[in-house]
Amino acid sequence: MRALLMCTLMIASALAGCLGGDDDDDGDDVVEVLGCTYSDANNYNADATKDDGSCEYDPGFEPVDGCTNPAATNYDSAATRDDGSCVMPDTVMGCMDEAANNHVSAAEEDDGSCDYGMAQGDIMAAYAAGDMAFSDAWYNLSVSRKCRDLGTNNPCEMTQMTIGEADTHDPADAYDSASGDVISNVYDTLYRYEGDGTGGSIIVPRLATGFSVSADDLTYTFSLRDDVYFSNGDHMTAHDAVYSWCRVIGMGSPSSGVNWILTQSFDCNDADGIHDDWGGDSLTVIDDYTFSVQIYDPSAAFVATIAYTVGSVINSDLCEANRVIEMDENGNVTSDDYCHEFMDEAQVGAGTNAYMVAQWARGTRLVMEPNWMYWEQADFNLNRVVVDLVEETQTRVLALQDGEVDRAYIPSAQKTEFCENMEDLPNAYGKEGFRCTYRQTYGIVNVPYNHEPKADMADGTADYVLNHDCDADGTNDCNVLGQSAVRQALSYTIDYDTIHTESYKGELMPVYGPIPTGFPYDDTQYEVFTYDLAYAEEILDAAGFIRQYDCASLTLTEAPTVVAEADRNGDECRLPNLLRILTNTGNDNRIAVAQLWGPALESIGIANDNADQPWATVIDNYIYGKWDLWVIGWGPDYLDPDNYWSPFAGSADIGGDAYHGHFHNDALDAILLDARKEQDSDARALLYADAFDLWVTSPTMALLGQYAGVGVGSETMCPPAYDAIGGDYFFNWDKLAKVSGSYVGSC
């Protein structure tokens, strides 16, 4: 009965045993084999299944049992054989940042222990107190301040391609924007311009902490920071500031003429270049961090003028140590380079700003790296800035498209490859991967007229091109461009509207006088010059420049062949010799202007050469005066109309003539000098209106337009607030890091 009940209850299980099977277990017992189970022992038993502690070793080779896992809490560094005793923590803690000095590769959770070195302030305090050597301070600052992003797109390096190369890295003789971009990152000024966040500019203190002005508005006293060091560790003082400004005036900026920005306001008490006395009437060192300067006339713009790179403070001791002075047998100075050759390369120790020039292969590449001694309290976002000179447009376009560079100079015609809605420039935006930003600038595209051009002569020298008889004595003694009628006529041969819409693809807007739209006193000028070839011919005819030259025989330096009056058919040239239109290779916008302008000039009998040339050649021709007409641009140095009127129309006598065109108009100079120092705004406006009325009768240049365009770059680059006046300060840029295929953060 019991067997039947159990079978009923187990109906879902196996049926064995339910029919009276045997209940006994017939399975075999497992037999353990004792012996030595460690293979490194002398008496290792391969058949042993359980160690019996009998292992034997040669003396000195006995194992040390313990935990051999370094991640365990009871890790025994002396153990040579794991005994299974390891106790593992729940999570491996440690510094997980690979850029830190104490990174733990096995860490699973960051414990906040990452060490990035000493704080910048502590290092500088130790250095200032003499408790740390310069080499140690430099190393500790580099460890502390370096960019540490570890993305796959080199987020600590910015690369760019451009078309214009720096002419020099010496702030005392640099006036081109390419030079300024380098100088503004190597050297500091007392004040500088920065963006205000709305597209405007504000002036902010840099090396200066403040200033005061005397009751007569003529003496400015500046106080300086006491915590600034040059990149070689030398302490900056007021002596360096006074020396730097005196050097500009003594040196005289022989190549660029940029010294006018300072000489318009003051002279140096030792402008002879000796620099051995620091008292005097103009500049005075009061103490290590205070100095004064006395200016000629009251000026609301003075502090703004010294914000330009020509006001940079350099290392006076380093300059003097590398200054080359030659003397004759009587001890008279025959030449003085004012350490220009040394400063031209922006050597280590020259400046106090955030970067130094690490490499400069002229015509090819510039590399900048951090000055770890830089005084501003912040870490670096960029450890390296690479600028490549590439004049071929398509190479730059492809490099930016392919992500080979972060920034590139892109002409107007190619911006549609990166930007959408270019037909409505203020609302243009970038295509995927690119940033396109509309910017209305104070930059003016212009064409200076060279009143005294030179050309290469047959004997290898350069001499003035004399092709007009100015005093009517029968001998050529001047150049036709010295004649106001010729310059007036030229100003009517330019198709301004087509240049705006086609040559610059809408990125130029009209400008009618030297003052750009948006600047103070821009309402003192109005449209005068338009595109009117017939009127240009009338002006030339009235001045006696009738068609009379055989264009096929024109040269730069030799006398042209004059066609006999009886043989003239109206196709002859009107002016003697060729007019050279200077443009730089790679700047497609300027080249387009020359190509549009050239045929228009030829149509009224003005032969010309509008072939573009490499930037280095352009700069060389500019310096030596071997040009007639130059398509170029002008960016403001400071926010005052004199920053345009003096360089555009004032002679060198009043610190003007920025392009070395050799123009001189005494009446205009007098008006501009009065306007420069006039404090009453209404009276100043009247002076600029008078200047404009006089200038249009004898123009010094043609004003093609005011730049208002779209900036193009990679969306990974985060620029600082746009500033229409100041420089491109790399310390204020940032670059998004690409991690696991995606960019981290946003601009």
Per residue in 715-745, pLDDT tens?
Answer: 999 999 988 888 789 999 999 999 888 888 8
Give the SS3 label for residue 415. helix
Which pLDDT value is given to residue 279?
Answer: 44
Longest CA–CA span in the chain (Å) reads 154
Residues 349 and 398 in one domain: yes
Q: Is 584 a member of any domain?
A: yes
For residue 709, pLDDT over 80 is answered with: yes
Residues 613 and 722 in one domain: no
The string of pLDDT tens digits covering residues 594-640 is 999 999 999 999 999 999 999 889 989 998 999 999 999 998 888 89
Which pLDDT value is given to residue 17?
Answer: 36
Residues 541 and 470 in one domain: yes
List strand residue ranges (DSSP E) for 15-56, in order: 34-35, 50-51
Closest by CA position to 145, among listed 369, 313, 348, 358: 369
Residues 173 and 128 in one domain: no
Q: How buried is residue 128: exposed, middle or buried, by Cβ count under 10 Å (0-12/13-18/19+)?
A: middle
Which pLDDT value is given to residue 739?
Answer: 87
Q: Is 613 a member of any domain?
A: yes
For residue 276, pLDDT over 60 is answered with: no
Count of alpha carbons within 13 Å of 232, Cβ hemisphere only?
13
Average pLDDT, the chain: 89
Residues 401 and 331 in one domain: yes
Residues 396 and 477 in one domain: no
The string of pLDDT tens digits covering residues 229-270 is 999 999 999 999 999 999 998 899 998 889 989 988 998 865
| Nearby residues of 206 by Cβ (< 8 Å), 6 or more positions away | 188, 189, 190, 191, 192
For residue 11, pLDDT over 50 is answered with: no
At residue 685 the predicted structure's pLDDT band, cuts being 50, 70 and 90, is very high
Residues 492 and 512 in one domain: yes
The string of pLDDT tens digits covering residues 640-680 is 999 999 999 999 998 889 899 999 999 999 999 999 888 88
Give the SS3 label for residue 656. coil
Q: Give Rg (Cα) of the chain.
A: 38
At residue 30 the predicted structure's pLDDT band, cuts being 50, 70 and 90, is low
CB 124 within 8 A of CB 132: no
At residue 532 the predicted structure's pLDDT band, cuts being 50, 70 and 90, is very high
Q: Give the Cα separation of 283 and 249 in Å (integer).
A: 12
The string of pLDDT tens digits covering residues 209-236 is 999 999 999 999 999 999 999 999 999 9
Return the DSSP state at 69.
Answer: -
Residues 329 and 462 in one domain: no
Q: Is 433 a member of any domain?
A: no
At residue 112 the predicted structure's pLDDT band, cuts being 50, 70 and 90, is confident
Q: Give the Cα separation of 634 and 620 in Å (integer).
A: 18
CB 554 within 8 A of CB 530: no
Residue 219 corresponds to which amino acid? T
Closest by CA position to 405, among listed 586, 158, 181: 158
Return the DSSP state at 500.
Answer: I
Closest by CA position to 300, among listed 223, 213, 199, 241: 213
| Residue 96: both structure tokens together | 């997980």
What mean pLDDT do residues 1-28 have? 39
For residue 46, pLDDT over 60 is answered with: yes
Q: Is 426 a member of any domain?
A: no
CB 638 within 8 A of CB 305: yes
Q: Is 98 a member of any domain?
A: no
Share of the chain above pLDDT 70, in %: 94
Q: How many domains does the chain have?
A: 3
For residue 275, pLDDT over 70 is answered with: no
Q: Is 431 a member of any domain?
A: no
Residues 371 and 477 in one domain: no
Using DSSP bridges, classify how beta strands 384-389 and 157-162 pair: parallel, antiparallel or unpaired: parallel
Q: Is 70 a member of any domain?
A: no
Residues 271 and 306 in one domain: yes
Output the DSSP codes for 186-245.
Answer: H-B-SEEEEE-SSS-EEEEESSEEEEEE-TTS-EEEEEE-SS-B-TTSPBP-HHHHHHHH
Which pLDDT value is given to residue 106?
Answer: 79
Residues 391 and 459 in one domain: no
* Length in residues, the chain: 747
Count of alpha carbons within 13 Å of 207, Cβ hemisphere only?
32
What mean pLDDT do residues 110-114 have? 81
Q: Give the Cα separation of 723 and 613 in Å (integer).
A: 30
For residue 278, pLDDT over 80 is answered with: no
Helix axes 642-649, 666-677, angle to 10 degrees: 160
Q: Give the Cα separation of 722 and 720 in Å (integer).
A: 6
Which CATH number covers residue 593? 3.10.105.10
CB 464 within 8 A of CB 453: yes
For residue 99, pLDDT over 80 is answered with: no
610 or 4, which is more confident? 610
The string of pLDDT tens digits covering residues 394-449 is 999 999 999 999 999 999 889 999 999 999 999 999 999 999 999 889 999 999 99
At residue 479 the predicted structure's pLDDT band, cuts being 50, 70 and 90, is very high
For residue 127, give its domain range: 116-145
676 or 687, which is more confident? 687
Residues 315 and 449 in one domain: no
Which pLDDT value is given to residue 460?
Answer: 81
Using DSSP bridges, classify how beta strands 462-464 and 454-456 pair: parallel, antiparallel or unpaired: antiparallel
Q: Is 585 a member of any domain?
A: yes
For residue 26, pLDDT over 70 is answered with: no
Which pLDDT value is given to residue 107?
Answer: 78
The string of pLDDT tens digits covering residues 130-171 is 999 999 999 999 989 999 887 899 999 999 999 888 999 999
* CA dihedral over 520, 484, 550, 478, signed as positive or negative: negative
Return the DSSP state at 743.
Answer: E
> pTM (2 decimals)?
0.74
Which pLDDT value is given to residue 269?
Answer: 65
Which CATH number covers residue 268? 3.40.190.10
| Nearby residues of 136 by Cβ (< 8 Å), 6 or more positions away | none
Share of the chain above pLDDT 90, in %: 65
Beta bridge partners of 158: 385
